[in-house]
Amino acid sequence: MKLAHQCDLGGEYISNKFCEFIALNGTIHQISCTDTPEQNGVAERKYRHIVETVCSLLLSAFVPSEFWGEVVLTAISLINTISSSHISGFSHFKKLYGYAPDYSFFRVFGCTYFVLHPHTKCNRLSARSIICVILGYGEGKRGYHCFHPITQKLYVSHHVVLLRAEHFRSGPVLDQNKQPNRFFFFSFGTKPNRKPVQTD
């Protein structure tokens, strides 16, 4: 049985190297007609699924769109590990690897967490943790992508402790006594440092 690869006329799909690669594996290369997305329905539906999941995460957690890259990776991780009715209630992860994913590793997206501060930047009198917002999961490592709004840096750390199960919001947030919560005075900012800093 031969496999077929259905795609549009995107440059990444019609390059010589890509065509040679799928030909070596015996895959049939099928290209849809111009301005005919319905011929590539599976990919178009999956693209829409990912985009709508990203929009839901951004809007529900009040995260600025500048972080769309991290959120796309988070959305794909969720989609691949959540069970689907299309594959008999299994997750894509289980179908691929043969065992269920570890759901205990997941954290609430957009919430504030205490993150262990890099020991190289600490002295005996400084804080051992910083307050960050979790935006996703470390690629290729078992850690979390944590954004520190004050320094505008993105950290990757496995040592995180939930501060409060509420989404981070830009600007002060009043508590039950109508007093500003000092933990929420900082804002996301608009120019994050995209290079993650390894903390452990």
pLDDT digits (tens, 9 = 90+) for 48-71: 999 999 999 988 888 888 889 889
pLDDT score for 50: 93
- Contact at 8 Å (CB) between 113 and 107? yes
Helix (H) or strand (E) holding 41: helix 41-60
User: Which tokens sit at 77?
Assistant: 């991780």
Residue predicted with more confidence, 132 or 166: 132
Q: How many CB atoms lie under 10 A from the CB of residue 173? A: 16
pLDDT tens-digit readout, 92-141: 888 888 888 888 888 888 888 888 876 656 677 777 778 888 888 877 77
CA–CA dist 133, 131 (Å, integer): 7
Other beta carbons less than 10 A from residue 63's beta carbon: 22
Tally of CB atoms within 10 A around 16: 7
According to DSSP, the β-strands at 160-167 and 144-148 are unpaired
